[in-house]
Structure 1
Amino acid sequence: MALHGSSFCYKVNFIDLRNFKGQHCPWINSLSSPSPKPNIFLSERHHCLKKLHVGGGTQPLALPARLLSLRACKVRSEDSEEVASGESIVLDEQTLIRELQAAIEEENYTQAAKIRDSLKVLQEDSKASVLAANSRFYTAFRKGDLAAMQSLWQKADNVCCVHPGASGVLGYDDVMESWELVWMNYDFPLDIELKNVRVHFRGDVGYVTCVEFVRTKGRSWGAQFVTNVFEKIDGQWFISVHHASPVDL
């Protein structure tokens, strides 16, 4: 399948992630915000009190002093290629699935076999599959759909999630809890725009790089350079690393 282009956009509103502060939970302590409004919940697993402060201002998170060069992050190899919209890949897959179901219901088994072959080719195309997995990740992100997010991550102790301005969160359970913390003060759907989307793969490991913009009701995170790493397990791509770092554009 030929893929063209380099970016795609989801229309959703900018997460203005404000302040995480925790006791005995160091991964939360690296986020800061001037907002005074707290939300408190008790985590039985960590046995610590966590506070999420969300401000009403529009100032973006502080960005690091050094500037990251997007050009320097380009990867050159035979297994790397700039690609187009992940939405189109997902839509193609969904369309083929619907057509397959319709053909089976109509007992048109010859047509069903052809559609099944086309669906198999699409799903086995590594670039398309990795990009489609990335698209599903951002659909869950956009909707604040925790159940969908849980199904997309590899259930392992070595998965890692780095939210903007925070230290890394390790392990499936802690990563899922971190998404609950990020989402608990925002209205959905969000407005997420991705630019400079590129997919790379080798064997059963693939990754997507992009520049991410998230907004909600006038608030802004600014630009984040994102790397999402996926691993193919039993024929399905699962995300194992999400790393978002602020960049000054």
Structure 2
Amino acid sequence: MSLIFPAISPAIRISRTSDCLLRHRSNQSLIRDKLVSESFGRRHNLWFSPGHCRINLQTGRQYKVKSEDSEGILSSESITLDEQTLEEELQSAIAEENYGKAAKIRDTLKDLQKDSKTSLLVANNRFYDSFRAGDLAAMQTLWAKKEEVCCVHPGVKGISGYDNVIESWEFVWANYEFPLEIKLKDETVYVKGDVGYVTCMEFVKTKGSRWGGQYVTNVFERIDGHWYICIHHASPVDL
């Protein structure tokens, strides 16, 4: 049985969108409210999905959805709200001189981007957790399984291809005693769609040695809602 709600004004629609994203950021593991976008040619529909219902933010109409559809929506770390769609809506609101609506959309975009940056930092931390522990099994799960991936260890040329990259970590760790001491400073995060990167200063100390410093760029790709590292480039820095 479908429930029909009265049309919602644009300001309320966008406000609810912002509220949903803020709740999601505050407790991602518990809050089930998500946003999805669907495209049909040049027409875009934005959906707000609390529980097992979906509300079309353009019309205010609510629909029940099958549980498997709802779970598919909820499993997406990216909140599956297309940034490009919101950017188009923003430009449209500006062109219409509807600056109140434009401000709301801009706030929603900022919330979405902050959420993506947070999940990317979590992925970057997982990479360094495996680095510290010398955990090859964990490292295998963190890299995108593609021939295009590349790893540049300090002082050597790049190694390409998933299998070669994983083998290089095994070789690098051969003479280390774990856990290693690793500190990160000056982390900067950038995300655009399903690609993002983290730059930072990486300080590594092995047993009986001094700290070594590298300037690092870690590039990630979001695949099926999860961030996978594609490029690790570490350049030695004199301390």
**What's the TM-score once normalised by structure 1's chain length?**
0.52
Residue 130 of structure 1 is matched in structure 2 by 120
2:186 is matched with which residue: 193, 196, 215?
A: 196
In structure 2, distance between residues paired with 1:226 and 1:181? 20
For 1:184, what is the secondary structure of its paired residue? helix
Q: How far did 1:221 drift?
A: 5.5
| CA displacement at 1:158 relative to structure 2 | 0.6
Is contact 1:122–1:128 with CA below 8 Å preserved after alignment? Answer: no
- Whether 2:143 is the aligned partner of 1:149: answer no
CA displacement 1:17-45 (0-9 Å, x = unmatched): xxxxxxxxxxxxxxxxxxxxxxxxxxxxx
Unpaired stretches in structure 2, ≥5 consecutive residues: 1-24, 32-50, 52-70, 80-114
What does 1:73-92 align with in structure 2 at a 5 Å threshold? none
Equivalent positions of 1:77-226 (< 5 A) are 97=29, 124=79, 125-220=115-210, 222-226=212-216
> Which residue of 1 is the match for residue 231 of structure 2?
241
Where do 4+ consecutive residues of structure 1 move more than 4 Å?
Answer: 119-124
Q: Which residue of 2 aligns with 1:227?
A: 217
Residues 1:168 and 1:190: Cα distance change in structure 2 (over 3 Å) = same
Structure 1 or 2, whichever has the larger Rg, is 2
8 Å CA contact 2:78, 2:225 repeated in 1 = no
CA distance in 2, matches of 1:221, 1:181: 20
Higher relative contact order (CA 8 A, sep 6+): 1
Deviations 1:162-202 (A, max 9, x none): 00001100000000000000111111111000010111111
Name the % identity.
Answer: 61
> 1:200 & 1:246 partners in 2: Cα distance?
22
Would you say how many aligned residue pairs link Structure 1 and Structure 2? 142
- Pairwise CA RMSD of aligned residues? 2.8
Letter in 2 for 1:186: Y
Give the letter aligned to residue 216 of structure 2: V
TM-score (norm 2): 0.54
1:61-80 counterparts in 2 under 5 A? none
